[in-house]
Amino acid sequence: MPASALAPAWLSYPTDANALREPLWAAGVARNDDGEVAVQGIPVSELAREFGTPLFVLDEDDFRARARAFRDAYDEAFADLGGGVDVYYAGKAFLSVEVARWVTEEGLRLDTSSGGELAVARRAGVPAANLGLHGNNKSVAEIEAALTMGLGRIIVDSLDELERLGAIAERLDVTGRVMLRLTPGVHASTHEYIATAHEDQKFGLSMVDDGGGAPAERAVAAALAHPHLELLGIHAHIGSQIFDAAGFAVAAQKMLGFLARVRDEHGVELPELDLGGGYGIAYTEQDTPRPPAELAAAMAGVVRETLAEHGLAAPRLSIEPGRAIVGPAAFTLYEAGVRKTVQVDHADGTLPRRYVSVDGGMSDNARPVLYDADYTAVLASRVTDSDAIVSRVVGKHCESGDIVVRDVYLPEDVAAGDLLAVPATGAYCWALASNYNYLGRPAVVAVRDGRARVIIRRETEDDLLARDMG
């Protein structure tokens, strides 16, 4: 029985273990003539020498191209509807001052989810009118900051928050521009903990009557009546890592139907509708993301039909891609350390599995332990004719669940000092990074026009000790 029997069914034996397979990598990533993975011509060995490992490597040109692709695709698909489209980059996926500037320069707006993300946007010089603030439990300080800055919109998650926001706006004598986040009851095919449109979860206002009318309907009435609130429209987010446009279509139908009911009850056609984000990317070869143009065309068709059905004027639409822009634009570079081979029980006996340890782990990528997320990896610093073997890439933390890549074919001769690259780590990896075991968070370097520069520096031991008052 071959060791490949340990691999999951979707993981095929590589005909060329040195290949970089689409669509897992940024456009600027390829192997050079020496067999090294390179980013816009810069070999990973050079990046490792200059910036150290673990290292997040972000192809700036690829990021910008993906941002433009969403902007252009939705502008074109909705051009005949007249309402227009705003693309908000979801900063929670990955945000830095530089990234916030790129987003603005490419004609996108920016969603934030905390006072800290707002501070990044402020330092980057993002116009307040182009900013949104999310969050199910915004603090008084965060709401005050958003109102004082004059944010373009604050997305309200509950009746409690609407009341708090109105009171603060009245105290500050300003007008808060708000959208109401609703739960349309659309279940995207995604992991339980990142499906966010069902009723039994913390986000959003229910559209189901709870005995006193639906909370969403009560929120509309309260927002319209408040002298210090301007109700822009409604918002929905149906989940994450979604490949099928059908979920977005059903959500659009439900939300437009709700806008029609608001018109009929209150005599007001709300001017904006946000259909959220959640567009999927490829983490492994089994993932098949759809291009923005295809998603936009499918969504525009449904919106067009539903507007006609209800006799509604087109609202200004907005979407919130984050992962789909930054996720594939980056990879993580690690240095391999110790190896070991274990014998794993199998129905027909035991089979070998290779463990390869790297100099990072769950402190720079928590998604495998949080969501059972799958990734892949390649030997990046050289090519080899060695046979591929079922391997598990693990981190250096004191946790048995500290797994970077659960199953991947790696060359049998991978050894200490080799560099491994894990693609599609731009989203929710650095953003979720921690100091577990007192490891410093990695640096992030951006590559543009064949030049690399640090956009977030590596944490040092002095950084780790700076807040310790002992």
Active-site amino acid positions: 398
DSSP classification of residue 59 = E
Residue 209's closest CA among 218, 201, 200?
218
Q: Give the C-alpha separation, 469 to 464, whole Å.
A: 11
Encode burial over 410-419: b for 16+ CB neighbours within 10 A, e otherwise: bbbebeeebb
With beta carbons less than 8 A apart as the criterion, state whether 322 and 36 touch.
Answer: no
Q: Give the C-alpha separation, 392 to 81, whole Å.
A: 50
Give 405's strand partners: 393
Residue 248's closest CA among 303, 312, 314?
303
* E strand residue ranges, 54-163: 55-59, 85-90, 109-112, 131-133, 153-156
Q: Give the C-alpha separation, 196 to 181, whole Å.
A: 11
Q: What's the Cα-to-Cα distance from 67 to each of 151, 171, 392, 395, rounded to whole Å?
A: 22, 38, 33, 32
**Cβ-Cβ contacts under 8 Å for 406 (sequence gap 6 or more):** 368, 374, 392
**Structural tokens at position 427:** 């989203």
Give 179's strand partners: 155, 233
